[in-house]
Amino acid sequence: MTFDQKDPNFPLRLFALLAPHLNNEGGNNSGWLGSYKGVEMFFAKNRDIALAMSCSSKWLKQSVGYVVTSDGWLDIKQHGELKWQYDSAINGNIACTGEIDVTEKEFVLAISFGRTYLEAANHAWASILNGFDTAKKNI
C-alpha cells in the first residue's frame, strides 16, 4: 500500500519548528529560506552568529514567520497544516517551520551553527552527507 502525504487521511504528518534565540535574544533575529549546494535550508542570523536547518528528506512546505503573528505553530494550530508560506522574517522574534516528507523510511534533520550562514550551511550539508550514524558517533 502506498500513501500520498498530501491526502488529508494520511496517518502521519511531521513538522520541524525552530525558533532561534541567537546571541541569547528572542528578538533581533532574521530568518529566510534558501539552498546550499542544491539542498533546501532554513537560515537565521543575529549579528555574528548564524544557523542553518536542513533535512535529507524533502520539505513539502516551508515558512519563516514572526512568533505569535505569522509563525508555523500558529498556522498549524489554526489550519492543521502550513497554509502560510513566507520566505523571510527580518529583525524580530522568528520561527522557521517545515513539513517533512515522511514517506522516506529514514532521514536526517541537521541544525548547525557558524559565524556566517554559509559556514552554518556547510556544516549542515556535511551532516546530511555523513548521515545519522556518523553524527551519533560524534556525541
DSSP assignment string, 21-50: -GGG-SSSEEEEEEEETTEEEEEEEETTEE
SS3 64: strand
Of 6 and 36, which is predicted with more confidence? 36
Apex 127 CA angle, 71 and 115, nearest 5: 65
Model confidence at 2, pLDDT cuts 50, 70, 90, reads low
Residue with cell 516528507: 101
pLDDT at 1 over 50: no
